[in-house]
Copies of this chain bind each other. A is one copy, B any other.
Amino acid sequence: MGRGYNQHCTLAYALDQIGERWTLLIVRELLAGPRRYTDLAQGLVTVPSNILASRLRDMEALGLVARKRLPAPAENVTVYELTEEGAALSDAVTALSRWGMRSLPPTTDGRAFRAHWLIPVMEARFDPEAAASVSESYQLQIDDEEFVHFTVHDGHGEALPGPAPEPAVAVSADAETLVALANGAITIPEATSRGATIQGAPDAIQRMLEILPPPTRTSKATARRDAVRR
């Protein structure tokens, strides 16, 4: 990209730093915890290796990520992790995810899907008011493999990778069903009829649905892409 917008504007300044392709997706990956180079490449699915290396260099120079050598047991593997400045992008990532939720289709249609990509999605759906005086966790499992969970603690909530210690609700489903569920396209009964497993007390499930409500969607039928010509 050409260098810089050269505008004294907080938005333009932010975009000068994280507006390049792949940068915010790298942040998304690292919001699920420190990752190795190859883990990042895998989570980003189609990123060219030279681009990934270049972005990590830039982000390190900007103070958004830090390299770290793992301690004793693991051999000399390097991991990347977000600095405080980089982690502060969480809110922006959440806001963009919330906007993307409005029109993301309810089916994957051959696109890649990873469980930890739901972390910003859950953060975006979180309703603090519904979570007042609630303290419990909700766990999601995809294809009997990866876990993510959301922990509520009295008005505050946080999405985290991995299984929950003591989930009040545990949902397990294949990717396609979980995507439709996260999208609000199907209800919990429909999900179970598709083979999903939902464990937990009915009132806990009810609380989960109120604390992580489905997105307000827009009818994308009105967007006519045939107007593009280039």
Contacts and interface: CB of A to CB of B under 8 A. Distances in A.
Given A24-B15, A223-B61, A10 B228 contact: no
Interface stretch (A101-109, A196-204, A205-213): A101-109
Give the number of times this chain occurs in the complex, counting copies: 2
A121 B10 CA distance: 7
A96 interface: yes
Contact of A98 (B91, B224, B225, B227): B91
Interface string A158-182: 0000000000000000000001000
Contact of A100 (B13, B24, B223): B13
Contacts of A228: 57-58, 61
Interface in A61-111: 61-63, 84-85, 88-89, 91-104, 108-109, 111
A113 B5 CA distance: 12
Nearest to A16: B100
Contacts of A108: 8
Interface residues of A, number: 67
A46 B5 contact: yes
Contact of A95 (B8, B12, B91, B101): B91
Contacts of A223: 61-63, 85
A100 B46 contact: no
A33 interface: no
A61 B121 CA distance: 26
A84 to B, nearest CB: 8
Interface of A: 1-2, 5-15, 17, 19, 21, 24-25, 28, 45-46, 54, 57-58, 60-63, 84-85, 88-89, 91-104, 108-109, 111-114, 117, 120-121, 124, 179, 218, 220, 222-225, 227-230
16 contacts: A7-B46, A10-B96, A10-B124, A11-B24, A11-B25, A11-B96, A14-B96, A15-B25, A15-B100, A57-B229, A61-B224, A84-B218, A85-B218, A88-B102, A91-B95, A92-B96
